[in-house]
Amino acid sequence: MVALCRERIFILFLLLTFSSFIQLSAQTDSLTINSRNTSEAETKPVDYPSARYKSRFLTSLPESVKETSGLLFFNGEIWTINDSGNQPEMYQLDSTTGNVLRKVVVRNAVNTDWESITQDDSNVYIGDFGNNAGNRTDLRILKIAKTDLLNPANDTIGAQYITFIFTDQTNFVQAYHQTDFDCEAFFFYNDSLHLFSKNWFDLYTKHYVLPVDAGNYTARLAERFNADGLITDASINSTGNIVLLGYKKTKGRKYSCFAWLFSEYIGSEYFGGDKRRIELGSALHLGQAEGIVLKNDNTGWISSESIILKCIHKPAKLFSFDFGSYY
């Protein structure tokens, strides 16, 4: 009888543990990383200089931008967008309070999965290329004239489209969080758009290049880099300094955020120059880091989307940083 009771208690313990695991997994699905990616031998990159840095918390962000997925700074203003399932809208933020100062609707667009935002002198570009399952055949970038966006009378604006496929993708079978053809990061530089993939399977990132003119293209694969994590945004400043933002699973169910800094490269072989990894801290502090913008003085902002961990709701947040001493 004692043995039977012990057996029942053990079975009950297993059931409760499994139930708790399923509940936590459901709450943190957006932070899930394929377990096959966690082998240290497969994911550890070549040793590069590294440092720890704690970004300065500025403010929580309102519910209207709780799924902030990219940041842009121009004309003295911060802009952000939300990702999949949200409206095709752009939001101007107050950098001190986080309040939404202005909302602009892109009238001829849908938000399949907006993930990043960048600019050249005349245009803003929005990357609708989030591809968690690896099966999208409608990857596109919106091209919006700055003159339209800056006109305060415009509550709605139109966009041109750059549509594309990845040159090395031949398999479009759905593989949720097991694909190396997800993408959440890009920037404009030297007359081209530069995209950086979010590789769920091998934790690398691939650098692709696209033209800026509206049209249909094949994104050229330029180089690969072992990011040892999932890349969620990218930014470059006028000096050519680059930052890639991301997060990765560490021990147990914990997640950490990081930034890769690139400088002193030749041409557009960004991964061939100086590299440094900055550990930004746990997701408990920073949240799920999704947007970054690097200013010319190597300061900038990071945005993180709202998440739920262990039944605790953490709102979207805005942080500031200064990476000046790390380049």
CA distance 190 to 236: 11
CATH number, domain of 265, equals: 2.120.10
Q: What are the structure tokens assigned to 92, written together?
A: 């101007």
Read off the tokens for 107.
């009238």
Q: Which residue matches tokens 């694909």?
A: 179
Spacing of C-alpha 91 from chain mean position? 17
CA distances from 14 to 8, 19, 21, 33, 46 (A): 10, 8, 10, 24, 40
Tell me if 90 is assigned to some domain. Answer: yes
Q: Is 155 helix (H, G, I), strand (E, B) or coil?
A: coil
Establish if 25 belongs to a structural domain: no
- Which tens digit of pLDDT belongs to each residue from 60-102? 999 999 999 999 999 999 999 999 999 999 999 998 999 999 9
Flag whether 286 is in a domain. Answer: yes
Quick check: is 299 in a domain? yes
Q: What is the pLDDT at residue 174?
A: 96
What is the arithmetic mean of pLDDT over 279-291?
92
pLDDT tens across 138-171, in order? 999 999 999 999 999 999 999 999 999 999 999 9
- In this structure, is residue 6 part of a structural domain? no
pLDDT in the model for residue 46: 62
Tens of pLDDT along 238-273? 999 999 999 998 876 688 999 999 999 999 999 999
Q: In angstroms, how far is the first alpha carbon of the chain from the final one?
A: 68
Number of domains in the chain: 1
The answer to whether position 193 is within a domain reads: yes
Does residue 12 belong to any structural domain of this protein?
A: no
Which domain range does residue 237 map to? 32-322
Nearest residue to 214 via CA among 137, 145, 266: 145
For 172-227, write each residue's pLDDT tens digit: 999 999 999 999 999 999 999 999 999 999 999 999 999 999 999 999 999 999 99
User: Does residue 155 lie within any of the structural domains?
Assistant: yes
pLDDT tens digits along 12-62? 443 334 333 333 333 333 444 443 333 333 345 567 889 999 999 999 999
